[in-house]
Structures are given as structure tokens and as C-alpha cells.
């Protein structure tokens, strides 16, 4: 059966999976969603001894139905190979009474690698399928991790160029160094004077700019997106929830069919939406615990039904979650509106114009599977410190937010189901915040010295991604104002 995709903002046109991946964003500014979420066609019992790659295939073939078996398997084996520093790709580690799903073993040591190491393969396959002859220009806004993962994925991929925008001063030093040292003749990195929301809104505006599209067309280019608005990023992420459940079963930690909760450190709402899709595919997930940092728009939304981005943007120690406009929430809104694209489009118009909208009580009721929570900076530090003291396990700031919220939810609700904490970045990526949480005495040390200290206290090998930036040359120094992104793109492409 062929699964088609439609926009969250209009009902008229349906596209294939490969077309949706190529376009990134629908023409009306909406996001592509599958007409319905497919069910898994294998049992957990069957999945439990399978490799990550086999599980990914079992999941992705259900969503990407216009890819052949050969194409999809080729994409999967090219993505999930020795770029990951562990054969299992996504290890499950028991920490105290929770299970950490470590998604940071790829080339850029954040969970974005799970999707961005396969997206370039999906995209180039989709281009061939649809007889695209133009060069594809990937535009990405990043709160720190997408940028590097996308750059690494697309560097020197024939037929593509990639331009990444990040907020100057809004990412960690390691994140910035990883991006500005990126090699590859087709890569460009731009620091914007603004925050992540400015970068993301700017990129969306470029996608919707018809004038620019004509110019690009004339020069033989077309845009696509590497942000999680692209369905080609979301689908690969569903796989690791299925994989994690099967591994819990294989390890005898749960019984077949036993419900678990998942706690996800959330920014743009992509990762947790993938968990929601996994649940709809048939994975026994009870609660989806949406963990925010002090930018707690989503916590307020789940509590009140009002989404309100009119508030101060706070720079925290978990910068990849410093976001006030969570793009992928639109896919959930559309779903709980009963797939009513008109209703969703109206709410998104209010968000754009007034910065706020309210859902109906009926829609709110359908969000009962979600639990919102947040951790303050102090609580995040506490979580890192206490977990280290209790277990010796060192986690990064983003994971710490989820770990805190998970424990807090357990205490308050009495819900004793087993909980999967989604571990989204290596602590090495945020060495300063992590080490000073463990001991404020590390305050005065520089970032690279802290990396050595982190190695001493954790015993974890220093990832290759960190060794690289120690000696790499800086190759990208471009900056621009948030309202000059269009000119910057034209300059880079020469159009
Ligand atoms: C991107 C990111 C997040 C947030 O994920 P979303 O899918 O945007 O909600 C959390 N932690 C880390 C380390 C990230 O890079």
C-alpha cells in the first residue's frame, strides 16, 4: 500500500514520501504529515534480536513506501556504519532506576546524527526517483546540534550545497567550533545576530519566498530542509523508540506488552513527536514526558492549552532546547484537531500574528498522553551532580533536564512504570556546564582543559569529534543580521 503525505495547512494535494522529503516544507507553509501513522507489521518478540539497522528498516519501510527495499536498505547501511563509535548504534544503559537511551554515538555526538546521517542518502535517492536535475541547496537553522550534524552529513555530497545559520553567542563553544571548522567545498556557515527563533523563522521565510525561488530556479538550484520540519528527519527517529523497547524486552527488563514511559528533552518537538508516532505504530508507550528547560512554553501549553511565545528568550546551559516556537508541535496540533487543516492553519496564523493561540477543550483532551515538565538551571545542575554522586554516570545538560523531569513526575504522580530517558548529547559537548555542575571548583578552567577533567571523572573515551576540533582550522567566519538572511544566501550562491 502506498502511504501518501499531505500538508498540515491544506487538504487539496497529496505527495509521495520521496516528494515530501525533497520539498521539506509544503508550499502553503505547512508541514508534511502521513495520511495515517502506519502500524508495525512485526511483533516486538520478532524484533528483539534484531540489529539497529534491521529495526530501522522494519520501521522506515512502513513510512517511506515509494522507496524500494534495495534503496532503503542501502540508505540505512550507508548511514548506520562505523561513523558511530558503537556497533549497537543506540546503546541502552541502566542508570539507577531508569534506562538511558544513548543517542550520541554518531559523528557529531548529539542525537541529531540519528536522522542526519541518513537524510542525505534519503534525499539523493528521492532526487533520482523524481528526476530532479537541479542542485539541492539545504538550508538549516540550528540551535547548535542540527547544524553540525547536517554539515557532516551533506559535506561533499554531489548535487548538494548546504547553508547553516546559528545564533551568535547562543551555542556552546564546542558546538560553535564544530561548525566553523567544517570541511567540504559545498558547505557554508553563518552566525546571525539574533536567537534560534529568528534563525528558524528566517529560514522558513526563505522557503516561502516565491521571488527567490524563481531566481534559484534560473540558476539551477532548489531548496530543501534539514530541519526536523522535514519528514525525512522524523521517520528515522521513530526507529530508536522501537529498538529501545525491543532491547528492554530482550534484556528481560520488561514483559512483552508492558507499558513504559519515555522522557524526552524537548526543543523543536521533533524527537518527542517521533515517540508519539512510535506509540501509534504499536509500541506500548504510556506517557510521553515532554521535558523543557526554563524556556517552558511547552510545559505551559500542556497545562493550560494556551501556546504563548510572548516571553523572554532565556539562554540556558541546554542551548539546543532554547526555543520558543516549537515547529513540530504543528503536526500534533493538526492531529488533535482531527486532521482539520483549516483549523490548524488558523491557529498557526494566530501564532505568527499574535504569538499565541488557544486550543479547544476537545483538542486538549486528546493530549492526555503527554505530560509537560521543566527543570530550572539549578535543578539541571542538581540532576547532573546527584546522578554522578549516586551512580558515577555523567550526563549532559539536555539529558539532565529530562532526567530531572522524569524523576519529578514519578514522585508527584506515583506512576511507577519503567522510564526511558532519551539521552541526546555527549557530556563532552557541554563540558563546562557538566563539570561545574559536578564541582563548582572547575569554574576557572578553559573548555579544552575541562574535557580532560571530564575524561578523568567519567572514564568515557574522548570522542573523535572532540579530538578533531582541537587541531582543526577555522574555515567559516561569515556573520549577518537576522533580517539579512536572504541577501546572505544570494551572496553565497551567487544569484
Ligand atoms: C535538538 C536537541 C534537543 C531537542 O530536540 P527536538 O527534537 O528539537 O525537540 C535536545 N537535546 C539536544 C542535545 C539536541 O541537540
Q: Which atom of ligand 1 is nearest to the CA of 398?
A: 11
pLDDT in the model for residue 303: 97
Determine if ligand 1 sits within 6 Å of the CB of residue 228: yes
Q: Out of 6, 23, 112, 129, which one is annotated catalytic?
A: 112
Most ligand 1 atoms within 8 A of CB, residue of 265, 318, 384 to mutate: 265
Q: Is the CB of 270 under 6 A from ligand 1?
A: yes
* 3-class secondary-structure state, position 89: coil
Q: Which of 110, 151, 164, 289 to mutate to test the pocket of ligand 1 (most atoms within 8 A of CB)?
A: 110
Whole-prediction pTM: 0.95
- Whether 322 lines ligand 1, by a CB cut-off of 6 Å, is no
Q: Which residues of the chain have pLDDT under 70?
A: none
Distance, in Å, from the CA atom of 299 to the CA atom of 329, rounded to the nearest integer, reads 12
Separation of CA 424 and ligand 1 centre (Å): 7
* Sole residue written with cell 547553516: 164
Domain ranges of the chain: 92-110+232-465
**Residue 72 corresponds to which cell in the numbers above?**
532503503
Active site residue 112: yes
Spacing, Cα 149 to ligand 1 middle (Å): 12
Q: Are the C-beta atoms of 54 and 69 separated by less than 8 Å? A: no
- Cα angle value 265/269/271 (rounded, 5°): 65
Q: Do 345 and 356 meet the contact criterion of CB atoms below 8 Å apart?
A: no
With beta carbons less than 8 A apart as the criterion, state whether 314 and 392 touch: no
Cα dihedral across residues 103, 104, 106, 110: positive or negative = positive
Which residue has the CA at smallest separation from atom 2 of ligand 1?
320
Please give the grid coordinates belonging to residue 219.
Answer: 540558476
What pLDDT is attached to residue 143?
86
Residue 228 Cα: closest atom of ligand 1: 7
Q: How far is the CA of 268 from the centre of ligand 1 (A)?
A: 7
Instruction: Say yes or no: CB of residue 320 within 6 Å of ligand 1.
Output: yes
What residues contact 438, with CB distance under 8 A and at least 6 apart?
384, 385, 388, 394, 457
pLDDT confidence of residue 178: 94
Q: Cβ(110) to ligand 1 under 6 A?
A: yes
**Candidate of 103, 111, 140, 264 to mutate for ligand 1, largest count of ligand atoms within 8 Å of Cβ:** 111
269 lines ligand 1 (CB under 6 A): yes
Containing 121, the helix (H) or strand (E) segment is helix 119-129
- Give the model's pLDDT for residue 112: 95
Tell me which residue has its CA closest to atom 1 in ligand 1.
320
How many CB atoms are located within 10 Å of the residue 312 CB?
A: 8
Q: Is 398 in the pocket of ligand 1 (CB under 6 A)?
A: yes
Structural fold of domain 92-110+232-465: Rossmann fold (3.40.50)
Q: What is the pLDDT of residue 11?
A: 87
The size of the chain, in residues, is: 495
Q: Cβ(142)–Cβ(176) under 8 Å?
A: no
Q: Please tell me if the CB atom of residue 267 comes closer than 6 angstroms to any atom of ligand 1.
A: yes
Pocket test for ligand 1, best of 100, 106, 238, 267 (most atoms within 8 A of CB): 267
Q: Count other Cβ atoms within 10 Å, centred on residue 459.
A: 9
Calculate helix-pair angle for 69-79, 52-63, nearest 10 degrees.
140
Amino acid at each position: 500500500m502506498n502511504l501518501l503525505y499531505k500538508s498540515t495547512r491544506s487538504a487539496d494535494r497529496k505527495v509521495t514520501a520521496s516528494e515530501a522529503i525533497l520539498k521539506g516544507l509544503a508550499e502553503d507553509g505547512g508541514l508534511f504529515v502521513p495520511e495515517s501513522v502506519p502500524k508495525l507489521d512485526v511483533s516486538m518478540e520478532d524484533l528483539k534480536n534484531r540489529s539497529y539497522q534491521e529495526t530501522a528498516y522494519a520501521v522506515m519501510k512502513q513510512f517511506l513506501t515509494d522507496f524500494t527495499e534495495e534503496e532503503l536498505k542501502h540508505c540505512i547501511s550507508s548511514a548506520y556504519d562505523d561513523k558511530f563509535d558503537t556497533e549497537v548504534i543506540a546503546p541502552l544503559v541502566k542508570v539507577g532506576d531508569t534506562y538511558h537511551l544513548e543517542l550520541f554515538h554518531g559523528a557529531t555526538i548529539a542525537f541529531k546524527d540519528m536522522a542526519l546521517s541518513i537524510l542525505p542518502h534519503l534525499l539523493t535517492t528521492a532526487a533520482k526517483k523524481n528526476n530532479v536535475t537541479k542542485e539541492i541547496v539545504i538550508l538549516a537553522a540550528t540551535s547548535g546540534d542540527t547544524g553540525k550534524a547536517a554539515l557532516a552529513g551533506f559535506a561533499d555530497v554531489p548535487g548538494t550545497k548546504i547553508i547553516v545559520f546559528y545564533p551568535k553567542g547562543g551555542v556552546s563553544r564546542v558546538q560553535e567550533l564544530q561548525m566553523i571548522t567544517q570541511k567540504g567545498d559545498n558547505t557554508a556557515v553563518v552566525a546571525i545576530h539574533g536567537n534560534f527563533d529568528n534563525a528558524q523563522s528566517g529560514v522558513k521565510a526563505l522557503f516561502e519566498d516565491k521571488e527567490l525561488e524563481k531566481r534559484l530556479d534560473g540558476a539551477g538550484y532548489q531548496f530543501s530542509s534539514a530541519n526536523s520540519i522535514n519528514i525525512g528527519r522524523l521517520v528515522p527517529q521513530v526507529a530508536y523508540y522501537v529498538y529501545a523497547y525491543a532491547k528492554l524486552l530482550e534484556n528481560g527488563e520488561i514483559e512483552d506488552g508492558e507499558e513504559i514511559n519515555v522522557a524526552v528533552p524537548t526543543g523543536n518537538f521533533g524527537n518527542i513527536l517521533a515517540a508519539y508516532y512510535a506509540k501509534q505504530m504499536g509500541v506500548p508507550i504510556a506517557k510521553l514526558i515532554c521535558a523543557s528547560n526554563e524556556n517552558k512554553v511547552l510545559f505551559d501549553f500542556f497545562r493550560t492549552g494556551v501556546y504563548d511565545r510572548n516571553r523572554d528568550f532565556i539562554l540556558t546551559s541546554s542551548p539546543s532546547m532554547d526555543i520558543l516556537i516549537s515547529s513540530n508541535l504543528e503536526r500534533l496540533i493538526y492531529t488533535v484537531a482531527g486532521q482539520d487543516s483549516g483549523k490548524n492553519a488558523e491557529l498557526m496564523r494566530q501564532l505568527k500574528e499574535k504569538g499565541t493561540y488557544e486550543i479547544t477543550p476537545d483538542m486538549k483532551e486528546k493530549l492526555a498522553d503527554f505530560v509537560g515538565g521543566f527543570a530550572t538551571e539549578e535543578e539541571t545542575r542538581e540532576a547532573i551532580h546527584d546522578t554522578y554522586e549516586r551512580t558515577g554516570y555523567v550526563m549532559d545538560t539536555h539529558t539532565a533536564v529530562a532526567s530531572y523531569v522524569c524523576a519529578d513526575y514519578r514522585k508527584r504522580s506515583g506512576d511507577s512504570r519503567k522510564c526511558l530517558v532519551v539521552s541526546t548529547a555527549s557530556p563532552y559537548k557541554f563540558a563546562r556546564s557538566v563539570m561545574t555542575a559536578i564541582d563548582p571548583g572547575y569554574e576557572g578552567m578553559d573548555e579544552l582543559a575541562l574535557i580532560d577533567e571530564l575524561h578523568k571523572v567519567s572514564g568515557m573515551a574522548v570522542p573523535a569529534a572532540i579530538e578533531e576540533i582541537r587541531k582543526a582550522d577555522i574555515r567559516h567566519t561569515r556573520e549577518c543580521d537576522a533580517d539579512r538572511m536572504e541577501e546572505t544566501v544570494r551572496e553565497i550562491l551567487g544569484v
